[in-house]
Amino acid sequence: MHQDTTFLYKADPVRGRDWAKVFAREAPGIDFRIWPDIGDPDKVRYLAAWEAPDRIAERFPNLQVLFSTGAGIDQFDLDALPAHVPLVRMIEPGIVDGMVEYVVFSVLALHRDMPAYRRQQAQEAWRPLQVRAAHERRVGVLGLGSLGQAVLGRLRLFGFDCAGWARSPRSLEGVQCYAGPQTLDAFLARTDILVCLLPLTDETSGVLSARVFDALPYGAGLVHVGRGQHLNDADLLAALDAGQIGEAILDVTHPEPLPAGHPLWRHPRVWLTPHIASMTQPGTAARVVLDNLRRLQRGEPLIGLVDRAKGY
Ligand code: NDP
Ligand code: OXD
């Protein structure tokens, strides 16, 4: 890595300045630039972006790696990215810790009936609800990737009865693992609180639909932290109104933000947060990216390399 190598950062500029400090300290030979200050486009070998610039191949003919500044990569048009340029998603301790906090908070809130108590307080009602032990509460996580596994690792410690569902078979301590579409019904039938931590792909788009809600036990809770396009809003509203879904905590919607007056804004059984479940932390993210650049130089596999055929 030498002076004629530019690392271009195209995301929140305030956080970009923290990335710049890490690069200045740990890789002073790299010319770190924050969009739109791109310098000589021919020198841009590495690009970290939340959303890729247009005509990426044409503009940056010497690009060697595209890093996503987020864990998800659905915002990129993979067809517009030259086949020889690897796309690497963000796996860094800050984003994992943030997601663990948010999902643990949400599962505990549902487990201990906090949404119901908020409604009762608004009515000045002092009405204790039955407390269920954690081991009697079945939590199921859709997606057993870097985030799903971390979340389950922490939920287990509370004693919840934990399961997870992914494409390929896995073995995780204390977690009943299900794999593939043929196991989805069995996984849902044993899930009182469903957490969605899937990536958005052609296969997973719209997965949170009536078909899934109906397969859950009556009154199940939903924690959705994947992507807005996973969720069929009309099906969720119908399931909430029928009581099939008891409560929903949604961090992601489609579109973001929801339009004014959208029924999810004010639904009494929905808690909404503005896509804040987890955020890439600049200090740790920049270090992880630099580690990947060193791996690239040594010819080692990149951590978080996206499999374009799978779409995640
Ligand atoms: P990973 O790529 O590490 O894991 C994805 C998991 O989903 C894998 O277990 C994979 O299965 C499984 N999966 C993918 N497709 C299918 C399918 N068709 N059927 C069953 N399982 C499937 O992703 P991460 O854990 O790092 O992140 C997950 C998602 O979380 C991101 O893509 C993003 O959308 C969302 N996210 C949301 C944030 C927020 O603030 N709300 C913040 C960060 C991420 P297998 O293991 O078999 O490959
Ligand atoms: C991500 C996100 O994918 O913040 O990192 O949603």
298's tokens:
């040594």
pLDDT tens, position by position, 292-312: 999 999 999 999 999 999 999
Better-predicted residue by pLDDT, 106 or 2: 106
> From the CB of 72, is ligand 2 less than 6 Å away?
yes
pLDDT tens, position by position, 144-200: 999 999 999 999 999 999 999 999 999 999 999 999 999 999 999 999 999 999 999
* H or E, element range at 26: helix 13-26
Q: What is the mean pLDDT of residues 242-266?
A: 98
Rounded to the nearest 5 degrees, what angle is found at the Cα of 152, between the Cα atoms of 94 and 307?
65
* H or E, element range at 118: helix 114-122
Which is the CATH superfamily of the domain at 6-92+280-298? NAD(P)-binding Rossmann-like Domain (3.40.50.720)
What are the E-state strand segments in 93-244? 138-142, 161-166, 175-179, 193-196, 220-224
Long-range contacts of 110-113 (CB under 8 A, 24+ apart): 110/193, 110/221, 110/223, 110/246, 110/247, 110/249, 111/137, 111/160, 111/193
Active-site amino acid positions: 227, 275
d(CA 181, CA 204): 11
pLDDT tens, position by position, 51-65: 999 999 999 999 999
Ligand nearest to the CA of 145: 1
Distances (CA, A) of 55 to 58, 67, 102, 239, 263: 5, 16, 36, 43, 38
Residue 27 predicted with pLDDT over 90: yes
Please report the pLDDT score of residue 270 as a whole number: 98
pLDDT tens, position by position, 262-294: 999 999 999 999 999 999 999 999 999 999 999
Cα 160 → chain centroid: 22
Residue 95 predicted with pLDDT over 90: yes
d(CA 132, CA 116): 15
Structural domain boundaries in the chain: 6-92+280-298, 96-272
Please report the pLDDT score of residue 3 as a whole number: 65
157 class by beta-carbon count within 10 Å (0-12 exposed, 13-18 middle, 19+ buried):
exposed
What rounded mean pLDDT belongs to the chain?
97
Are the C-beta atoms of residues 46 and 293 closer than 8 Å to each other? Answer: yes
Question: What confidence category does residue 2 fall into, taking pLDDT thresholds of 50, 70 and 90?
Answer: low
Nearest to 198 by CA among 164, 236, 163, 227: 227
Q: Among 225, 278, 281, which is best to mutate for testing ligand 2, by the most ligand atoms less than 8 A from CB?
A: 278
pTM greater than 0.95: yes
Cross-sheet strand order for the sheet of 44-49 = 31-34, 6-10, 44-49, 65-68, 87-88
Assigned CATH class of 96-272:
alpha beta
Residue 1 predicted with pLDDT over 60: no
Q: What is the mean pLDDT of residues 133-139?
A: 98
SS3 assignment, position 166: strand
Q: Which atom of ligand 2 is nearest to the CA of 70?
A: 5
pLDDT tens, position by position, 192-234: 999 999 999 999 999 999 999 999 999 999 999 999 999 999 9
> From the CB of 70, is ligand 2 less than 6 Å away?
yes
Common-topology check for domains 6-92+280-298 and 96-272:
yes
d(CA 278, CA 29): 31
Q: Among 92, 95, 197, 225, which is best to mutate for testing ligand 2, by the most ligand atoms less than 8 A from CB?
A: 95
